[in-house]
Amino acid sequence: MKAYPAAQIRNVAILGHIGSGKTSFSEAVLYEAGVIDRLGRVNDGTTTLDFDPEETRRTISINTSVASFDWRGTKLNLFDTPGDFDFAGEVMGAIRVAGSSLIVVSARDGLNVGGEKAVRYVRKQKLPFAFFINTLDDPHANFSETVEGIREFAGDGIVPFMLPVRMGEELGGYVDVLARQAYKYDGQGKTSPMEMPAELEDALEETYERLNETVAETSEELMEKYFSEEPFTEEEFRTGLREALISGVMHPIFCGSATENKGVAAAIDGLISCTASPDMAEPVVAQIPHSDETVELTCDPDGPLAALVFKTISDPFVGRISLFRVYSGKIEASDSLYNANQEKEERVNGLSVMIGKKSQSTDVVTAGDIGALAKLNATVTGDTLCRRDKQLILPGIPLPTPSFSMAIMPVKQGDEEKIVSGLNRLRDEDPSFFVFNNPETNQIVINGLGATHIDVLRSKLGTKFKVESTIEVPRVAYRETIRKKVKVQGRHKKQSGGHGQYGDVWIEFEPGETEELTFETNVFGGSVPRNYFPAVEKGLQEAVAEGVLAGYPMVNLKATLVDGSYHDVDSSEIAFKLATHLAYRAGIPQAGPVLLEPISTVRITVPEPQLGDIMSDVNQKRGRIMGIDAAEDMQLVTAEIPTSEMATYATDLRQMTQGRGSYEIEFARYEQAPQPIADRVIADAKARAEQA
């Protein structure tokens, strides 16, 4: 593919709720551009951009797919993103490199949760956005109500650029508000001019007047012309609309039916005409590695190279494919690159542009454009590619925090290492989850964004790495401690011919001030020689790894060696270690042992109408509300909740808030568990021990 100057490039992210029609819209755009010769269907698994086997099987998007192609002289890089909340990491990668976004909304359902989240995402990243009201071919579709619903949520800057024309039960055409012209659909995406429907004349005038007001607000000069009732020139009108969109004052609405390919071409034409090209964007600030210095980068093909890798694809035939956006400079097919994050050299292999899973070779990818590189060795999503002699690091991708945890086990015993290896390789594609081996519970734990996210990872383990697995709620890492002071003896004596074994200790156990074991000695008269003190301490360190109630580690324990005895011949370090173990097992049950449960600090972001439900649920989970603060148009609830109560919270919160809520969780401290909870945990531990 030929190189395009930045002025002729548009990078557009397609966002929206699951099932709103994002992939169908993208498919229609590809068809209109002549990239494909027939429209695929999501339900049939035949679309160009849902090519992953998991997407085909589930008939939903789970990855961001990129299509780069020519649209009437403009290079259009289209990002088709997932609508399922469990794949928000994919959405954030697309938003990070896009120049504008189009939020697809179903006219049957209105602006639902996914659309609302998309608005919040793009506003947080200060990304211009517009809407495409889809499914207007449905008899239950309601354009006016959908517009009002969007306006109610997103503000008064919502202005339709298109008005639907109904002909009986059919979507027969549309009105181009900017051109003040009506068009009818002739089939296969074709249109022809038609007479303005009388019932839309008032709506057209009202909408056009709103556009004029919006344009007037972009500059004092245009405001003066507006009040003087002097018409804007076409250039002033277009420039004003672009300024209004970029500044967030205005958000256009386009409309049609993606599956019927109605209104799609007009929506893309309109979006391109009123959005900024990459060379018009604000400079990007990059950091110089190992320093506090930064540099502003403009979209200049002759500037220093800075390209951000925003997605990685693991292709079974090609290997790793890294998708990137060039912010400054250019990448050529013969280049040597430097990864400033990993501090590694990278060679250019297979420079291309992507259309779904297909690649098209190119000689150069220049500033403002999107490209792909094959077989980079060290580079992962979020890394910056630059030149070794001019190292730069671009801001990374703001990924969501994975808070949903499940333990994963292989179906076939002994495949644990394959699971960890496979999941770590899947992180090349999807950095929005992480996996770790919990040594306390002997479980491999995945932290993801939700149940579907983890289920997809399990499916990929099976198809890509031939490892079948099951999942369960992860066990909680409890602790044990004591509440009283005791003094006990531990004596190990064994005679079996020749040298025997003899060790005798008196140890005081009491609550300590630190989580780690505190060991002290207070021995008088040499009853225990000094050279055996380390053996006693080592024996205690070994013993506290397993408590007496449920086998969890003992914490906040102080142990003082106060007395004992020894034998000149039979005493040894091992004998004193064993004596210490005996003292621990005898003394701790007498010292009021209790179970400690982990407490998490949870920050829950929810809409205000659900605040009461959230507070009630926190109380039911034995939690404490620590504070409630405003967070933009949401409420931020900070609470402390026992970790054991949070196993299914991602699902619970989604149900309580219809998917609008989110949360972050982190460990706070340990507290004594209520006796009913302790009894249950102890019983479970004994049952596991018996099974083992």
Of the pLDDT bands very low, low, confident and very high (cuts 50, 70, 90), residue 15 is: very high
The residue among 395 and 45 whose pLDDT is bigger is 395
pLDDT given for residue 629 in this prediction? 94
How far is CA 141 from each of CA 110, 135, 199, 262, rounded to the nearest angstrom?
9, 7, 18, 14
pLDDT given for residue 238 in this prediction? 85
The residue among 219 and 485 whose pLDDT is bigger is 485
**Strands 486-494, 501-511: parallel, antiparallel or unpaired by DSSP?**
antiparallel
Tens of pLDDT, residues 511-554: 999 999 999 999 988 899 999 999 999 999 999 999 999 999 99
Residue 579 counted as domain residue: yes
Judgement on whether residues 112 and 85 belong to the same structural domain of the protein? yes
Of the pLDDT bands very low, low, confident and very high (cuts 50, 70, 90), residue 381 is: very high
CATH number for the domain that contains residue 436: 3.30.70.870
Tens of pLDDT, residues 596-640: 999 999 999 999 999 999 999 999 999 999 999 988 789 999 999
Judgement on whether residues 628 and 577 belong to the same structural domain of the protein? no
Radius of gyration of the chain (CA): 32
Query: What is the number of H-type helices and E-type strands within the chain?
Result: 16, 36
pLDDT given for residue 168 in this prediction? 83
Judgement on whether residues 166 and 266 belong to the same structural domain of the protein? yes
pLDDT given for residue 189 in this prediction? 80
The residue among 678 and 231 whose pLDDT is bigger is 678
CATH number for the domain that contains residue 573: 3.30.230.10
Judgement on whether residues 67 and 86 belong to the same structural domain of the protein? yes
CATH number for the domain that contains residue 318: 2.40.30.10
Average pLDDT estimate for 242-248 = 89
Judgement on whether residues 71 and 166 belong to the same structural domain of the protein? yes
Structural domain total, the chain: 5
Residue 75 counted as domain residue: yes
> Helix, strand, coil shares of the chain as percentages rounded to 5?
30, 35, 35
How far is CA 662 from each of CA 89, 204, 420, 606, 657, rounded to the nearest angstrom?
14, 40, 28, 7, 9
Judgement on whether residues 37 and 125 belong to the same structural domain of the protein? yes
How far is CA 649 from each of CA 12, 213, 449, 612, rounded to the nearest angstrom?
34, 47, 11, 16
Judgement on whether residues 86 and 140 belong to the same structural domain of the protein? yes
pLDDT given for residue 187 in this prediction? 81
Order of all β-strands in the sheet with 557-565: 486-494, 501-511, 557-565, 518-521
pTM of the model: 0.89
Tens of pLDDT, residues 46-88: 999 998 888 989 999 999 999 999 999 999 999 999 999 899 9
Residue 209 counted as domain residue: no
Q: Which of 546, 572, 592 is the last residue of a domain?
A: 592
Q: What are phi and psi of 468, to 5 degrees?
A: -85, 140
Domain assignment of residue 114, given as a range = 7-196+248-280
Q: What are phi and psi of 318, to 5 degrees?
A: -90, -30
Judgement on whether residues 69 and 82 belong to the same structural domain of the protein? yes
Residue 83 counted as domain residue: yes
Q: Which of 568, 592, 616 is the last residue of a domain?
A: 592
CATH number for the domain that contains residue 147: 3.40.50.300
H-only helix segments in 430-470: 451-465
Tens of pLDDT, residues 395-425: 999 999 898 999 999 999 999 999 999 999 8
Q: Does residue 207 register a pLDDT over 70?
A: yes
Nearest residue to 181 via CA among 273, 249, 270: 270
Q: Does residue 14 register a pLDDT over 90?
A: yes
- Mean pLDDT taken over the chain: 93
CATH number for the domain that contains residue 622: 3.30.70.240
Are 371 and 345 in contact by the 8 Å Cβ rule? The answer is no
pLDDT given for residue 44 in this prediction? 87
Residue 159 counted as domain residue: yes
The residue among 165 and 495 whose pLDDT is bigger is 165
pLDDT given for residue 498 in this prediction? 65
Q: Which of 567, 592, 617 is the last residue of a domain?
A: 592
Residue 225 counted as domain residue: no
Average pLDDT estimate for 27-55 = 92
Judgement on whether residues 495 and 554 belong to the same structural domain of the protein? yes
**Segment holding 270, helix H or strand E:** helix 264-274
Judgement on whether residues 74 and 147 belong to the same structural domain of the protein? yes
pLDDT given for residue 692 in this prediction? 65
Residue 438 counted as domain residue: yes
- Name the 3-class secondary structure at 222: helix
- Name the 3-class secondary structure at 420: helix
DSSP state of 214: H
pLDDT given for residue 268 in this prediction? 97
- 454, amino acid identity: I
> 183-194: string of b/e by CB count within 10 Å (b at 16+)?
bebeeebebeeb
Judgement on whether residues 293 and 269 belong to the same structural domain of the protein? no
Tens of pLDDT, residues 283-306: 999 999 999 999 999 999 999 999
Residue 398 counted as domain residue: no
For CA atoms 649, 651, 655, 659, the dihedral sign is positive
Judgement on whether residues 518 and 616 belong to the same structural domain of the protein? no
Q: Does residue 11 register a pLDDT over 80?
A: yes
Of the pLDDT bands very low, low, confident and very high (cuts 50, 70, 90), residue 278 is: very high
Q: Does residue 497 register a pLDDT over 70?
A: no
pLDDT given for residue 418 in this prediction? 93
